[in-house]
């Protein structure tokens, strides 16, 4: 088996294992979605009943809810490993550390995609914005945002999973790094929902792609060190 | 009794065709803060030997095994496994060393078979070839019919599943930390049987345990640690007592510090 094929097999096995755990531990995944939806609802209360104001703020609030929910998701995917010493065992398997990173990031991206995909209609209903016509560019933004968030989140969750104050440390370390992704995703969402009159959607998507690539390369390169004692 | 196949890593030849020792440590030390869990252990174990690691709590047994498993790095000293420098080429060493730790390292929401299939993939088995290996390992530890999630398992069942994980690996060096813990009499007998099989297959086995009599009867030699140092060595081909440098057939212990 070639190294690449072996790496892919390992990554898929890790992602599949995480997906099964997530699906069977529905309470945790459901709570995350519920939490993100509550965040959106509370933002709506905070902004008041002005429908135009809500519609203008919707893209930013959507991505803030995705980020908050994503932090919980990333922490949970690594908590699976921390329970019962599985993280140490994972580090001791004779596999390329980049494949372990790829597997965890793949699981994270899939979970983020589901989260983003489910929150989009919630935003549409709560803030009264039509997303039907813009579903394809919105899907592209959510996919790229999910990959970027998972790329960073996997690395930072790996770093903090063995810390005592991991619940605090993960957002503290991750949020500053995620800021460019948040900005690009919000701008791209605004452009997609507005029909892209200025033709800037492509540029924001390119920025998201560049961010994803950089974070995946950095994450894959550093994750192995995080697994070391 | 179900059939149990033991898979072993291919032997490595050393320089000029000699067989390198399974374990060779020089002045291995590990500090946790200011406290030395291991304070300079030099130990050589020949391939295929079974060594019992004994000593009171805090003697450094687990720390030594975790360093040998590449789970943690030593603060000082050097280490080679099957002639491979474990500090420089840990990834290659991980292909030859399998470690049973205190934690059973299972995924609670997966079944026993799913946990083991995952481990088999990580140890390099393909989907098809791994299937019978997994089923045989589960049958050996008497968990073949257990279809529920591991979350519902007792401590003994979890330990049996951890033992099954060792059976889907292909070790050259097996490190067992309290392998009899949490098991009933039948489970302990299973551990003894498996150690015997690994021994027959030529796998080097190091067992850290508080059950001195039990593991000493399984081992070729016993090594006692105290306060992070080698205190006593005895058994077949072992250097006994606090000597400066000693090397005999079977197990060689070099540089006792006491």
User: For the whole model, what pTM was predicted?
Assistant: 0.90
Q: Which residue has the tokens 């957002």?
A: A171
ipTM of the assembly?
A: 0.90
Span B99-122, average pLDDT: 95
Q: Is residue B33 part of a domain?
A: yes
Q: Is residue B214 part of a domain?
A: yes
Q: Round the average pLDDT of chain B to a whole number and report it.
A: 88
Task: State the pLDDT at residue B224.
Answer: 93
Domain range for B204 is: 19-105+170-254
Q: How confident is the model at residue B16 (pLDDT cuts 50, 70, 90)?
A: low
Q: Does B112 reach chain A within 8 Å, measured CB to CB? A: no
Q: Is residue B124 part of a domain?
A: no
Please state which of the ranges A122-131, B51-60, B106-115 shows the lowest mean pLDDT.
A122-131
Task: State the pLDDT at residue B147.
Answer: 85
> Domain with B175 in it: what CATH number?
3.40.50.300
Q: Is residue B146 part of a domain?
A: no
pLDDT(A207) > 70: yes
Please state whether beta strands B221-226 and B50-54 pair in parallel, antiparallel, or not at all (unpaired).
Answer: parallel
Task: State the pLDDT at residue B13.
Answer: 72
Q: Is residue B228 part of a domain?
A: yes
CB A174 within 8 A of CB A158: no
Q: Distance between CA A128 and CA A122 in Å, rounded?
A: 10
Q: How confident is the model at residue B239 (pLDDT cuts 50, 70, 90)?
A: very low
Q: Which of B100, B110, B121 to mutate to test the interface with A (most CBs of A within 10 A)?
A: B121
Write out the DSSP string of B103-116: S----TTSBHHHHH
Q: Is residue B42 part of a domain?
A: yes
Q: Is residue B56 part of a domain?
A: yes
Span A46-63, average pLDDT: 88
CB B32 within 8 A of CB B39: no
Q: Distance between CA B175 and CA B66 in Å, rounded?
A: 9
For helices A135-160 and A97-127, the axis angle rounded to 10 degrees is: 130
What domain count does chain B have? 1
CB B54 within 8 A of CB B38: no
Residues in chain B: 258
Closest residue in B to A25 (Cα–Cα): B109
Please state which of the ranges A24-38, A177-191, B44-58, B193-207 shows the lowest mean pLDDT.
A24-38
Closest residue in A to B87 (Cα–Cα): A228
Q: Do B114 and A88 touch (CB under 8 A)?
A: no
A200: closest CA of chain B, how far (Å): 44
Q: Is residue B204 part of a domain?
A: yes
Contacts of residue A42, Cβ cutoff 8 Å, sequence gap at least 6:
none
Residues of chain B positioned with their CB less than 8 A from the CB of A9 = 121, 126
Q: Distance between CA B226 and CA B208 in Å, rounded?
A: 13
Two tokens, residue A40: 């959106």
Q: Distance between CA B242 and CA B240 in Å, rounded?
A: 7
Task: State the pLDDT at residue B15.
Answer: 65
Residues of chain A positioned with their CB less than 8 A from the CB of B106 = 84, 86
Contacts of residue A21, Cβ cutoff 8 Å, sequence gap at least 6:
A80, B107, B108, B109, B110
Q: How confident is the model at residue A133 (pLDDT cuts 50, 70, 90)?
A: confident
């Amino acid at each position: 088996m070639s190294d690449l094929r072996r790496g892919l097999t390992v990554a898929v096995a890790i992602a599949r294992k995480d997906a099964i755990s997530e699906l069977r531990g529905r309470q945790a995944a459901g709570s995350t979605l519920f939490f993100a939806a509550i965040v959106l609802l509370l933002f709506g209360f905070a902004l008041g009943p002005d429908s135009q104001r809500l519609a203008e703020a919707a893209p930013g609030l959507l991505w803030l809810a995705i980020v908050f929910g994503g932090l919980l998701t990333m922490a949970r995917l690594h908590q699976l490993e921390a329970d019962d010493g599985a993280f140490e065992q994972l580090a001791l398997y004779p596999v390329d550390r980049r494949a372990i990173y790829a597997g965890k990031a793949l699981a994270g991206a899939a979970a983020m995609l589901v989260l983003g995909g489910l929150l989009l209609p919630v935003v549409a209903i709560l803030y009264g914005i039509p997303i039907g016509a813009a579903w394809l560019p919105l899907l592209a933004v959510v996919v790229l945002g999910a990959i970027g968030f998972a790329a960073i989140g996997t690395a930072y969750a790996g770093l903090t999973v063995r810390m005592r104050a991991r619940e605090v440390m993960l957002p503290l370390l991750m949020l500053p790094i995620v800021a460019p992704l948040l900005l690009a995703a919000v701008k791209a969402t605004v452009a997609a929902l507005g029909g892209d009159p200025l033709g800037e959607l492509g540029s924001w998507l390119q920025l998201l792609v560049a961010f994803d690539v950089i974070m995946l390369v950095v994450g894959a390169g550093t994750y192995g060190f995080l697994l070391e004692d | 009794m179900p059939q149990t196949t033991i898979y072993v890593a291919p032997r490595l030849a050393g320089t000029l065709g000699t067989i390198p020792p399974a374990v060779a440590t020089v002045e291995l030390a590990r500090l946790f803060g200011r406290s030395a869990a291991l304070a300079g252990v030099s130990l050589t174990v020949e391939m295929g030997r079974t060594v019992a690691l004994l000593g009171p709590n805090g003697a450094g047994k687990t720390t030594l095994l975790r360093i040998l498993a590449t789970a943690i790095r030593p603060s000082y000293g050097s280490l080679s496994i099957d002639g491979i420098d474990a500090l420089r080429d840990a990834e290659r060493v991980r292909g030859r060393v399998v470690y049973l730790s205190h934690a059973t390292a299972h995924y609670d929401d997966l079944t026993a078979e799913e946990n083991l299939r995952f481990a088999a993939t990580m140890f390099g088995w393909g989907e098809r070839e791994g299937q019978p290996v997994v089923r045989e390992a589960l049958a050996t530890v008497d968990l073949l019919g257990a279809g529920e999630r591991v979350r519902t398992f007792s401590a003994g069942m979890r330990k049996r599943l951890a033992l099954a994980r060792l059976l889907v690996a292909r070790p050259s060096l097996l490190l067992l930390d309290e392998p009899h813990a949490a098991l009933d009499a039948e489970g302990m007998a299973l551990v003894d049987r498996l150690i015997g099989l690994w021994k027959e297959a030529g796998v080097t086995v190091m067992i850290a345990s508080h059950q001195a009599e039990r593991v000493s009867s399984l081992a070729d030699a016993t090594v006692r640690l105290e306060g992070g140092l080698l205190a006593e060595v005895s058994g077949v081909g072992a250097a006994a007592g606090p000597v400066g440098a000693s090397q005999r057939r079977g197990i060689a212990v070099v540089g006792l510090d006491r």
